[in-house]
Amino acid sequence: MALPVDKFNPRFVYILHFTGHPGQEFSRVFGILGNAKAAWSETFQALDAMRRIATHHGDVIERNQLHPLVVAVLAAVKNLRSSVTKNALLCLGDLFRGLGRRMDAELVTILPSLLKKCADTNKFVKAEAQKVRL
């Protein structure tokens, strides 16, 4: 039985095929996440790609790129579109799982936004924020 693939449903990110060079993909995706004027659909798809990179190719994320990346993902956490917010929270969880202790220095930056989303009135977002494993 084939799973339905909805490109704007974040839970299906792991069945999507990763193509290309991970380093080049990271640069492309990082550029989109750092662009405050990117369309929500571009941001959503960039978060999916970053989740795949964090899960399968975490070694391409250099230490000096980590903090700017976290800041860009946190900007997506604050997005008014709840699907982008949820995908950004999933991305944070994948960064913690994929990069492990390298993410420890980013806790001070992440916790305020994460705690705020844990108290969000949107149950969809609140539930995902509570699932992020630090």
Give the Cβ contact number of residue 47 at 10 Å.
Answer: 31
11 compared with 122, residue with greater pLDDT: 122
Cα–chain center distance at 97: 12
| Mean pLDDT, the chain, integer | 87
Place of tokens 């960064």: 95
Residue 71 has pLDDT above 60, yes or no: yes
The model carries a pTM of 0.86
**What domains lie within the chain, and their CATH numbers?**
21-131 (1.25.10.10)
The string of pLDDT tens digits covering residues 15-65 is 455 667 888 999 999 999 999 999 999 999 999 999 989 988 889 998 889
pLDDT surpassing 50 at residue 5: no
63 vs 14: which has the higher pLDDT:
63
